[in-house]
Amino acid sequence: MILILFGPPGAGKGTQCDILEQKLGIPKLSTGDMLRTAVASGTPVGKKADLIMKQGKLVPDEIVIAIIANRISVPDCEKGFMLDGFPRTVTQAEALDAMLAENGLAINKVVAFDVNEEELLKRILKRAAEAGKNKRADDDPDVFKKRMADYKKSTEPVLAYYQARNLAAHVDGMRAIDDVTAQIERLIK
């Protein structure tokens, strides 16, 4: 099972992936998490991504495509995986299709989270408050605006790309966490 959890920052993709990892027994592949680890370890990729992420901009396609290509070749992905935060551009979506096709694989479902912008900002601020000293540099109202602008410009077209191939389905991401999980489970049954 190859799933894409798709939606704006703060929609709950990461939270649902964490729950579904246990339920479905497939790993969560979060480019955001992998990039934050690279930044914290000071790798060459981390050094390139650090400022871009702090500004709420998108890391160049070739960097995230290479990260995902490496990650899906790890044996724990053999039974499938969930993508959180990737693809974020049509170029990334096309690259993903090509790398899956090379291995005789294809995406099963793209789960799009519907959450209004006011609620997204509320959740980002809550996540920042709860993280205290470990707060993400990009969980900030001004950076959120930039992330949303990039989402609308570069990432929303990715949904149309999957809709054209009948792969996308929507969940009401405004509902309680358990309810959203149940909606996703119904979609992928």
Q: Quote the Cα angle for 83-100-157, to 5°.
A: 55
Q: How many residues bind ligand AMP (CB under 6 A)?
A: 17
- The total of other beta-carbon atoms located within 10 Å of residue 95's CB is 20
147 is catalytic: yes
Residues 6+ apart with CB under 8 A from 143: 54, 55, 56, 137
Binding pattern for the stretch 101-140 against ligand AMP, x by CB under 6 A and - elsewhere: -------------------------------------x--
Known catalytic residue at 165: no
Q: Which of 16, 31, 181, 183 binds ligand AMP (CB under 6 A)?
A: 31
Binding of residue 56 to ligand AMP (CB under 6 A): yes
Q: Is 85 in the site for ligand AMP (CB under 6 A)?
A: yes
- Residue whose tokens read 């900002």: 121
Burial of 65 (0-12, 13-18, 19+ CB in 10 A): buried
> Three-state SS for 84?
strand
123 as an active site residue: the answer is no
Is residue 71 close enough to count as binding ligand AMP by CB under 6 A? no
Q: Which residues bind ligand AMP (CB under 6 A)?
A: 9, 31-32, 35, 52-53, 56-59, 64, 85-86, 88, 92, 138, 147
